[in-house]
Structure 1
Amino acid sequence: MDMFNSLFSSGTATAVSPVSVFICIGAALAIGIFLALVYTYKSRYSQSFVVTLAMLPAVVSMVILLVNGNVGAGVAVAGTFGLVRFRSVPGTAKEIGAIFLSMATGLAIGMGFVGYAAVFALIMGVVTLIYTKLGYVVFAGSKLQKSLTITIPENLDYTEVFTETLNKYTKSSNLLGVKTTNMGSLFKLSYDVTLNKEGIEKEFIDALRCKNGNLEIRLNRPGMGGEEL
C-alpha cells in the first residue's frame, strides 16, 4: 500500500491524494465537455478544436496540481497561457475567448475550487448562449457590413469611377487603402461598405465588373479578416 501511495507523491512538492486528483480530472473533463458543446452552438468549428477545448481544463488543472506549492508555479502558469499565442492557425476572437474560458476553469479546479469552477462555467456558458442568440437579432444589421476588394488596371482613375455604383448599392462606403500588385500593373482597392439590403451581392458585383475590366472582385464578411487575433 505504501508503495502504491508513493507512486502518487513527490519529494519536492506538497503531496496530493490520488482521490483528489481523480475528482479534479473528472470534474475538469465534465466541464470541458460542457464548454465545448456551448461553443458549437451556431458556430463553425473543427472536430480537433472542439476535442482540444474539451480536454483543456483537465490538462491545465493537472499542471496546476503538479506544481502546487512549488516555486516554479508562476512560470508554469505563464507558460501554459503563453501556448495560446503560438497556435499554428490564427484564431478568431470567439476561439481565443473559448480557450481562455477553458483555461480559467482548469486553473480554478487545479487550485481546488471545483465548485466555483462548475458555477463559473455554468454562468459563462449560459451567458454565451444568450449573447449568441441575441446577436442574431440585435446585430442583424451587421450582415450588411462587408469588406470589398476591387482589382483595377493601373491606367484606370479610381477616384470617381466607382462612386455612382457605390452610392446606388450601399448605405456607406469608405476607401481604406490602395496597393499595387502584379509588378505594378494592377491596383487593389480596399473598402468598408454597408449594403442597402440583403441579397444584392451578385447584382452589386456585376455592376462593379462593368467598370473594372472584369478583373477580380472580392466581397467578404468583415470578420474574415478583422476578427483574427
Structure 2
Amino acid sequence: MLEQLFNSIFLAKDVKVHPLMLIFSLGVSLLLGLLLAKVYKYKTIYTKEFVITLSLLPTIISLIIFLVNGNLGTSVAVAGTFSLIRFRSAAGGAKELLAIFIATAIGIATGMGYVSLAVFFTLLLSLALFIFENSSFSQVSQTRRYLTIKLPADFDYELLFEALFSRCCKQQELASIKSIEGNRSLQLEYVVELQPSLSDQDFLKEFLLYEKVKEVSLSKIAKKKKTL
C-alpha cells in the first residue's frame, strides 16, 4: 500500500494522458488547496486575497507542471515567469511563506500525477500545523519583551540600567546599540525577561522616572531581521 504513494496516474511520457486523469488531478489539487487554506486560517490573521490565492495556487502549479512535462523551452519560460512574479512581490511572513511552499509542493506532486502522495503530504502537514498551533512548543513567552530606549549620547546609562534590570527582570540582553539624530542620541534595544509579578506599565514607569530618557517602547513581537 505504501508503494502506491509513489505511483503516478500519468503512467509514462509517451502515453497519451486521458483528459479525465488531468481533470481528476486538477480537482484533487483544488480540494487540497482549499484544505490548506482552511488550516492556514486557523489562529491566523489573514487577508481575503491571500486565502483565495492559497486555494488556487496548487491547481495552477499542477497545470503548469503538466504542460511543461520535460519540455526544456517551456521550463525556461516558466522559470522566467516565476522569477518576475517573485521580483514584483513583497515578502510575507514566515507562516505565509510556509503555506506557499506547501501549496507549491502539492501542485508539483499532482501535476506529475502523484495524487496519493499529495493527499498524504497535505494531511500530514495539516495535522502537524494543527498540533504546533495548540502545543506549548511554539507558544510565545508571556514574560519576554523587546525593549527600545532612546536617550542622549552623553548619558551614563550602564550603572543606572543595571540596577533597574536587576530589580525588574529575571534576565536581560543588549541586542543592539545605534547612534541616531546626528550622533546626539543613542537607541538601545534589549531582550528582557520580566519578573512575573511586574506589569508592562509598571516596567515602563521605571524608565519614565528619568528625564534623560527621551522615549521607551515595549513589545512582545520579535523584530524581523533583514538577513538570515
Report the TM range for the smaller structure's normalisation.
Answer: 0.7 to 0.9
22 and 141 in structure 1: CA distance in 2 versus 1, 3 angstrom threshold: closer
- Residue 173 of structure 1 deviates from its aligned partner by 0.5
SS of alignment partner, residue 89 of structure 1: coil
Matches within 5 A, 1:5-154: 16-72=17-73, 75=76, 86=87, 88-134=89-135, 137-140=136-139, 142-154=141-153
19 and 189 in structure 1: CA distance in 2 versus 1, 3 angstrom threshold: same
Q: Is the 8 A contact 2:25 2:113 kept in 1?
A: yes
**What one-letter code is carried by the residue in structure 1 that aligns with 2:42?**
Y
Query: Cα deviations across residues 147-180 of structure 1 (Å, max 9, x unaligned)?
Result: 2110111221122221222222221111122111
Q: Is the 8 A contact 1:92 1:227 kept in 2?
A: no
Task: Indicate the larger mover: 76-85 or 161-170.
Answer: 76-85
CA–CA distance in structure 1, aligned partners of residues 72 and 199 of structure 2: 61
Query: Cα deviations across residues 53-97 of structure 1 (Å, max 9, x unaligned)?
Result: 111111111110110131246546755775785463332222211
**What one-letter code is carried by the residue in structure 2 that aligns with 1:188?**
Q
**What one-letter code is carried by the residue in structure 1 that aligns with 2:23?**
F
**What one-letter code is carried by the residue in structure 2 that aligns with 1:39?**
Y
Q: Is the 8 A contact 1:144 1:194 kept in 2?
A: yes
193 and 215 in structure 1: CA distance in 2 versus 1, 3 angstrom threshold: same
**What one-letter code is carried by the residue in structure 1 that aligns with 2:68?**
V
**What one-letter code is carried by the residue in structure 1 that aligns with 2:107?**
G
Aligned counterpart, 1:156: 155
Task: Indicate the larger mover: 74-83 or 207-216.
Answer: 74-83
**What one-letter code is carried by the residue in structure 2 that aligns with 1:35?**
L
TM-score, with normalisation over the residues of structure 1? 0.81
Q: Is the 8 A contact 2:68 2:74 kept in 1?
A: yes
SS of alignment partner, residue 178 of structure 1: strand
Any unmatched runs of 5+ in structure 1? 1-12
Q: Is the 8 A contact 2:132 2:138 kept in 1?
A: no
Q: Is the 8 A contact 1:31 1:121 kept in 2?
A: yes
SS of alignment partner, residue 72 of structure 2: coil
CA–CA distance in structure 1, aligned partners of residues 150 and 194 of structure 2: 19
Query: Cα deviations across residues 85-134 of structure 1 (Å, max 9, x unaligned)?
Result: 54633322222111111111110000001121011101110111011111
CA–CA distance in structure 1, aligned partners of residues 143 and 84 of structure 2: 35
Aligned counterpart, 1:9: none
Q: CA RMSD in A?
A: 2.8
99 and 140 in structure 1: CA distance in 2 versus 1, 3 angstrom threshold: closer
TM-score, with normalisation over the residues of structure 2? 0.81
- Residue 226 of structure 1 deviates from its aligned partner by 4.8
Share of identical aligned residues, percent? Answer: 35
- Residue 207 of structure 1 deviates from its aligned partner by 1.1
18 and 139 in structure 1: CA distance in 2 versus 1, 3 angstrom threshold: closer
**What one-letter code is carried by the residue in structure 2 that aligns with 1:194?**
E
Q: Is the 8 A contact 2:65 2:108 kept in 1?
A: yes
